[in-house]
Amino acid sequence: MSLLSRIEIPAEGGVFSCLAGGPAPGTAPFIHFAHATGMNAETYRPILEQLASRYTVRALDLRGHGLTTVPADPRRLRSWSTYVRDLAGVLAGFGQKAILVGHSMGGAVSADVAALHPSLAAGLLMVDPAVVPRRAVPALAIGRVTGLMRKLPMAEQAARRRAGWPGREAILKAYTGRGAFKTWGPEFLSAYIEGGTIPQDDGTIRLACAPAWEARTFATINLTFWRRLGQIKAPVSVLYADTHSTLGRRGAATVQKSLPNAVVERVPGSSHFIPMEFPERVIAAVDRLVEYVPSTKSA
């Protein structure tokens, strides 16, 4: 029997869809898990189910992702500040201080929430957060003004992603063992497809995260991570990848220097997709952070 179910949070122009489970709010530590670009909360169900056995768990489908239906016009997305505002607004409505956990974009967005809204964050676990190398920020800031950010390889690749499919079996066959999904456990890939595709009237499916929105998200990555990092007052933990890391060893060292009390760990043998490759490391890191932080039973 699943410990998770869907709840909908009304918002302007639609709803935010959220996976929810675990003990009743206010009776256990509260965990919020934020997903990566192009993913959705359902992708991480194998981890969230285990966490929900002992913690109050919420995992939002961010704007333009999963089953969330609030407007997502790529032309209006200027930076990840949109995601930060959305997440902070939803968290404030829960009325309970959260341990913020996030993978990739979700880690970076959660870090901004922790920095800008300390009353919402009891702790922060970033799993290979998607950040721009500190030394590259000035050049990318110019690229954003000139429009060159749209030429980033990841943005261009996302823009070409196939949006429509005959059905879930077809997309599962196409993705298994290939590309970004090469190292994923099968349960994570199935969960990603379940939460990231929308059935159509003609029996086909489409990606819930439109390729244009995903591409725009890659192109508008926040450039404020390093400036805001030192503002975080909550306890911080970081897991970063052994290869193809979006944080890297230099970035990890910078985090450690900026936050001397942070727990920063490399996961040997991992790629950027640590949750799908080593879910037990993510769960263990959450457990350690829960033990370390003050009670999150009330805001």
Domain hosting 18: range is 4-134+224-292
Inside any domain, residue 279: yes
User: Do residues 165 and 205 make contact, with C-beta atoms less than 8 angstroms apart?
Assistant: yes
Q: What is the pLDDT of residue 146?
A: 60
Inside any domain, residue 172: no
Q: What is the pLDDT of residue 166?
A: 96
Inside any domain, residue 102: yes
Q: What is the pLDDT of residue 298?
A: 46
Q: How many CA atoms lie within 13 A of 216 on its CB side?
A: 19
Beta pairing, strands 30-34 & 56-60: parallel
Q: What is the pLDDT of residue 150?
A: 56
Q: What is the pLDDT of residue 139?
A: 75
Q: Give residues with Cβ within 8 angstroms of 173, minimum separation 6.
A: none
Residue-wise pLDDT for 54-96, tens only, equals 999 999 999 999 999 999 999 999 999 999 999 999 999 998 9
Inside any domain, residue 297: no
Q: How many domains does the chain have?
A: 1
- pTM, entire model: 0.94
- Could you say which residues of the chain have pLDDT below 50? 298-299
Inside any domain, residue 153: no
Inside any domain, residue 152: no
Closest C-alpha to 235, from 116, 114, 54, 87: 114
Inside any domain, residue 31: yes
Q: Give residues with Cβ within 8 angstroms of 118, minimum separation 6.
A: 232, 233, 234
Beta pairing, strands 164-165 & 205-207: antiparallel
Q: What is the pLDDT of residue 293?
A: 86
User: Tell me, what CATH number does 281's domain have?
Assistant: 3.40.50.1820
Which letter, b or e, does each residue of 265-296 get, where b requires 16 or more Cβ atoms within 10 Å of its Cβ? Answer: ebbeebbbbbbbbbbebbbebbeebbeebeeb
Q: What is the DSSP string of 112-180?
A: HHHHH-GGGEEEEEEES-----GGGHHHHHHHHHHTGGGG-HHHHHHHTS--EES-HHHHHHHHTTSGG
Q: What is the pLDDT of residue 147?
A: 62
Inside any domain, residue 176: no
Cα–Cα distance, 60 to 86 (Å, whole number): 10
